[in-house]
Amino acid sequence: MSTIYHNPRCGTSRNTLARLEEAGHKVTVIEYLKTPLDKEGLRKLIADANLSVKDAVRAKESLYSELGLETATDEQLLEAMAAHPILMNRPFVITEKGTRLCRPKEIVEEIL
């Protein structure tokens, strides 16, 4: 059983989901824009992936600059991602072998 935090409009996310299915994984798909994580859920997901909060935020998203997040603390970034899930980088994948931000998509191979 695997879980992907997925944005169907993202090519990397679609390709990662396809690779999981190709590898025979039963995948729970969470469209995080429709079902966003709260701050604590984000904190756990990011920690499980062994990332910094800054690594998990989409700094290229225009909203990042609009909200002035360039100098934000981790707590402020988590709050912003919880309030505006478009700021969460994707796709995050959880398998029995671990949690990864699969960007680039080839990173999913580490946890197949």
**Residues annotated catalytic, as ranges:** 10
Instruction: Give the Cα separation of 41 and 95 in Å (integer).
Output: 17
Q: How crowded is residue 54: how many other Cβ atoms within 10 Å of its Cβ? A: 12
Q: Determine if the peptide bond prior to 104 is cis (ω within 30°).
A: yes
Helices H, strands E: what count in the chain?
A: 5, 4
Is the Cβ–Cβ distance between 94 and 17 less than 8 Å? no
Dihedrals phi, psi of 94, to nearest 5 degrees = -120, 125
Is the Cβ–Cβ distance between 104 and 12 less than 8 Å? yes
